[in-house]
Amino acid sequence: MGGVGKTTIAKVIYNQLLDRFDSCSFLKDIRETALQRKGLEYLQSLLISMILRCERRELTSVDEGTYELKHRLRDGKVLILLDDIDSRNQLNALAAELDWFGHGSRIIVTTRNRDVLPQVGAAYEVRELQPHQAFLLFCKHAFRNDLPSTEFVIISYNVVETTGGLPLALEVIGDLGREIVRQENYNEPGKRSRLWRTEEAVDALERQEGSGNVQAIHLNFGIELVDFCFRNEEFMNLSNLRFLQLDSANLAGDFRRLLSKLRCYVGS
């Protein structure tokens, strides 16, 4: 069943474990991406580039990608989250065996079809949240607290009710959060705490107008399998950036010291 919170729970676990591994990678929407032309090859190359922190290069076939994964990633202790796996072929192309990766590596998989999972490791079936649980989850994401401030109590309950208690509320949370945050420094996006609108985020980055206030950036170009590239100097002023999500975009340059406070990176 979709929308019950598989990805949400998996991301919470993923974020809690990040610091225990040499490298991490979160590949989202695998089912949809795999349907695109050379989609699996794209996912394989993206996984390699994220784990090795290098520029992504095109792969000629799934077999080439499998070979690269098995031989280039076997020395590192990695954490990988594969979101929305739909078939065994997808899993085989990205992480057929745990011994493709270094000792101590862990693979987290979310799927609607339990039959695609191998008979190893642990499996957990996610059920719908109770109303009070959904409310707490919403508040933690939207306000970083168990309860909203007084002026947002009613709208918070309305959001939870609208979602029917499904943790897919992240989409609704995003809409709500974007409008709230847009009221911060309305005419100066680079001074906000979050940049959710792609055009505003790109403008702030290209002009290098970002500030230490920015804690989260989401860049979504909405073009499948076409990459946009951002250089490290465009992130020079973002000393407190903690969350970065890039959809159809890549990074070029050395970011290891530049984004020292980054805790969650999502790329696709």
The model's pLDDT over 12-21, given as tens digits with 9 standing for 90+, comes to 899 999 889 9
Listed residue (196, 186, 235) closest to 217, CA to CA: 196
Amino acid 153: pLDDT? 74
Q: 54: burial class by Cβ within 10 Å (0-12, 13-18, 19+)?
A: exposed
pLDDT tens for each residue of 113-143? 888 887 667 787 877 777 777 777 777 777 6
* pTM for the predicted model, two decimal places: 0.55
For residue 127, give both structure tokens: 């059920």
Dihedral sign for Cα 238, 241, 247, 248, please: positive
